[in-house]
Amino acid sequence: MAVSTLLGLLFLAQMYCVAAYGQGHSQNRRTQLQDPMFGISYSPSRVHYEPMPMPIRQICPGYEHGTFWVFAHVQRESGDYYVVMGIRPGQDGDSLGAALLIKDSKCYQEDSTRMLSGFVPEKGYGQEASALGLPGLNAPQICEHGPQFPYGIGACHYVLRSAEEESVLRGLASDALVRGTRAWGDAAQFKKAVCIPSLEKANSSMPIVRQELTKFCK
């Protein structure tokens, strides 16, 4: 065999190995997800959240195909509230959480990060009664501005409009901690993952979640 031919074959073999490593490395990255309640990175092959119930997947549009999990659920007279996330066929971007309200066999949706960013009003809640839907839905958005955000707005939030909205968020955060402990299979391992200062800082724009997490970690 000619030396040039041998060198060519060795070069192709080396390139194949590099490509295979890069593909495997990319796949390893995609196997890491970030839970939508607390921002913990985890491997779904090791951490097992409850699958999203099929009846809800049939009611809510966009969940017909793929794999989805429930990260929080609370039931109220106004309906069933969920925080879910999953992977759709052909998905090449990050998985993002969704907040769902199932009421009268209808599905209402919004971004879970947006819903969880509710702040308790400084002067308390008014006496006005309002129909409870998804907390924060259609509420005015309040974003930080200033020299620390030279390229755009900073973190955004909304102000909770009723004690019922606050109750839903606290119920979801509390249930998420129970589900997280069960999904990780070991309370000590889950606490080790979720009770770290960096997550507390990351959850600063979701004060209800941060408060419930602080109580859990103590």
Average pLDDT over residues 99-115: 95
pTM summary value:
0.81
User: What's the pLDDT at 18?
Assistant: 36
Q: Give me the residue label for tokens 């890491």.
A: 32
Confidence of residue 93 (pLDDT cuts 50, 70, 90): low
User: What's the pLDDT at 144?
Assistant: 77
pLDDT in tens, 55-92: 999 999 999 999 999 999 999 998 999 999 999 887 77
Average pLDDT over residues 125-147: 79
- Which one has a higher pLDDT value, 7 or 191? 191
Confidence of residue 207 (pLDDT cuts 50, 70, 90): very high
* Selection from 11-15, 68-72, 136-140, 146-150 with the highest mean pLDDT: 68-72
136: left (phi over 0), alpha (psi -120 to 50) or beta: left
Asked whether 156 and 126 are in contact (CB, 8 A), the reply is: no
Quick one: CA torsion of 206, 208, 209, 210, rounded to 10 degrees?
80
pLDDT in tens, 17-35: 433 334 333 333 457 899 9
